[in-house]
Structure 1
């Protein structure tokens, strides 16, 4: 994987492995989000009262159906859309991915206020025409206000500078799938896009941390190795201590015996981004089986959907799509869309020049991902 990403020459086996990890990351995040959605606002006692002594063990109804996802999955899909569009626009000489991601997030913001797709806006591409994405699923105030106008937040002038929630971290997993990029560049891009809604260093560095860990896993590293690389990169960033401290706390918790919901709640702490990320990392470390990892990630009194999504992305990137529970995938809302954009991303990253290079362009691809 590392050689193919570095040289741009992909063999068939390498392409298949990469596609499996891309699918695993996006499906894993969506499944974790959907599993946590029904219990997101409940205490552990309330979860057990509703679902039994073991808590929630299988998908339950939320938003009127089983397998329903929340706004963080919607935003994650628009992250992928923005990354593909950035690659397509690179041919024109216009190369500023944070701007392309901001445009993608603004397309998501339109789904939160419009009744449905506007077929006249061909420049929106195919994802914004998916009608199921127009269901409003508890978007955070920070995401709505941060993306409520055309002014893009930057590191110098971030949107919502006091916002410490985990939503920016959850939507940042796709940046980690840029396996041809160096880790420090992936970290920088994730940070620059996180500040468009979450301007506190804890929130945007947690987003960068999640991205770097996914990046290591997508390149074939071990989970522990990816975490260690992440800690080394974060140590150079001002204000990193809350995030690196939380991740080290998660590593220490692994050695404290059998995993319990109480330990997860301790890591989540007050529910800010670094704690939710640390809890997700802990669940991925102690439960390599995705089903058990996700159950641990959502059965606590914290941000269950966000923690489940973060953990699902990590385990999906580590193991690939075949490790995901088939029964849970069957009920997942929007699964065809997730698979379609995952495969488009994998194709763009491995065959982009053949789709829209200077010598050859596919009209169908440019209709799906317009340069405009």
Structure 2
């Protein structure tokens, strides 16, 4: 029987299978948003450092924990834009719950324009005015934390980019992927809808097919985890959708996206548990630095899968033991996602989103949460999304 690259035979146990009982949907939402913010915050401390500088500052193992940072580290534009994605979806859900149809991508565009205003960039006069919402009153979101050029320039045009009329046609930066987890958190949607919502929203700022396809695959991965699939199973399912039909008619899968994700699955399959991990240098050589969309997703996916505990450590575990294993997994995966020469906050943010959606909030280390900037804002957005989705 043939298998995907790096896929174990059907009879073999797959690392990272779901626990029983499964996390509640509200816990997955909270875990996803908080987990992404934790990875983002730790990675932001070294975002522009190469691995030699990280080792020189933190030792041979690199940055492993918030305790090494002293004064801590704020979250970046990755978390800001993820929360504004959540708010755009939330507005569309609120309209729908009131029985009024809304243009979902327009809601997202308006949300991103409000984020643009928090970055000290004038919102184009041609853009529609929207009254402020709860998220806009949160001062912590008004700091400029190294936002991506394509996100800023694409929104500053005042044009609502689409797949057919893209802004930044050649842009394929990771700014699409790092903000797209919330699309996978909306229940009762089919994969085609999840992919379309995510890809359309990516096109608001980035025009390259790899940027929107990577965002769409990431959202499908989150969607599959929320539906109860295991980590590797969800990744294979999302990649299968990319290959097999969720794309717009006439658009082929971008070969770089497919190649990077296949490599992440293969390499992770060669590194079970905590042994045999790629060095940071080899990680970058094999999967890239993470500045572009498909590389960021591949690095994060590798970090999650390569550090996943085997099923034998989880089978029959009580909730307390399962929580310990999930927190250990979270710490190990984020460390891999942070410690490389590349876009450490984005790769770690994506990894944190994945683990939080899979395990729920139980995987989040309490000592890390104590260092997180403005957790009440993230919890506030999570609770609003949970209420709007009936979680």
Confirm or deny a common fold (TM above 0.5).
yes
**In the alignment, what sits opposite 2:120?**
113
Task: Report deviation, 1:310.
Answer: 0.6
Question: Matched residue pairs, number?
Answer: 333
**In the alignment, what sits opposite 1:362?**
none
C-alpha distance in 2, partners of 1:89/1:154? 22
The yes-or-no answer on 1:282 pairing with 2:311 is no
Residue 264 of structure 1 contacts residue 297 of structure 1 at CA under 8 Å; is this kept in 2?
A: no
**In the alignment, what sits opposite 2:89?**
83
The yes-or-no answer on 1:264 pairing with 2:270 is no
C-alpha distance in 2, partners of 1:191/1:122? 23
TM-score, with structure 1 as normaliser: 0.85
Task: Report deviation, 1:65.
Answer: 4.6
2:368 to 325, 328, 331: 328
**In the alignment, what sits opposite 1:359?**
none
The yes-or-no answer on 1:254 pairing with 2:253 is no
C-alpha distance in 1, partners of 2:269/2:141? 41
2:163 to 155, 168, 171: 155
**In the alignment, what sits opposite 2:145?**
137
Task: Report deviation, 1:125.
Answer: 1.1
Helix, strand or coil: the match of 2:389? helix
Residue 82 of structure 2 contacts residue 178 of structure 2 at CA under 8 Å; is this kept in 1?
A: yes
Helix, strand or coil: the match of 2:57? helix
C-alpha distance in 1, partners of 2:351/2:306? 11
C-alpha distance in 1, partners of 2:288/2:266? 15
Helix, strand or coil: the match of 2:176? helix
Residue 23 of structure 2 contacts residue 360 of structure 2 at CA under 8 Å; is this kept in 1?
A: no
Task: Report deviation, 1:34.
Answer: 0.4
CA-based RMSD of the aligned residues comes to: 2.2
Helix, strand or coil: the match of 1:248? helix
Q: Which runs of 5+ in 2 are unaligned?
A: 1-19, 123-128, 309-328
**In the alignment, what sits opposite 2:316?**
none
Moved over 6 A (4+): 13-16
**In the alignment, what sits opposite 2:191?**
183
Task: Report deviation, 1:184.
Answer: 1.4
C-alpha distance in 1, partners of 2:192/2:286? 26
**In the alignment, what sits opposite 1:273?**
293
Compare the two structures and name the one with the higher helix fraction: 1
**In the alignment, what sits opposite 2:53?**
46
Residue 31 of structure 1 contacts residue 67 of structure 1 at CA under 8 Å; is this kept in 2?
A: no
1:29 to 22, 36, 51: 36
**In the alignment, what sits opposite 2:323?**
none
C-alpha distance in 2, partners of 1:204/1:24? 24
TM-score, with structure 2 as normaliser: 0.81
Residue 60 of structure 1 contacts residue 67 of structure 1 at CA under 8 Å; is this kept in 2?
A: no
C-alpha distance in 2, partners of 1:122/1:160? 24
Helix, strand or coil: the match of 2:165? coil
CA deviation map 1:37-94 (0-9, x unaligned)? 01111111110001101100112788x9513011111010001111110011233533
Residue 38 of structure 2 contacts residue 349 of structure 2 at CA under 8 Å; is this kept in 1?
A: yes
C-alpha distance in 1, partners of 2:340/2:64? 12
Distance 1:239 1:65, change over 3 A: farther
Task: Report deviation, 1:122.
Answer: 8.7
C-alpha distance in 2, partners of 1:122/1:231? 37
* 1:35-74 alignment, distance < 5 Å: 35-59=42-66, 65-74=71-80
CA deviation map 1:201-226 (0-9, x unaligned)? 11111100110001111111111121
Residue 22 of structure 2 contacts residue 228 of structure 2 at CA under 8 Å; is this kept in 1?
A: no
The yes-or-no answer on 1:244 pairing with 2:258 is yes
C-alpha distance in 2, partners of 1:164/1:304? 17
The yes-or-no answer on 1:170 pairing with 2:184 is no
Task: Report deviation, 1:136.
Answer: 0.7
Residue 150 of structure 2 contacts residue 206 of structure 2 at CA under 8 Å; is this kept in 1?
A: yes
Distance 1:14 1:82, change over 3 A: farther
Residue 260 of structure 2 contacts residue 287 of structure 2 at CA under 8 Å; is this kept in 1?
A: no
Task: Report deviation, 1:299.
Answer: 0.1
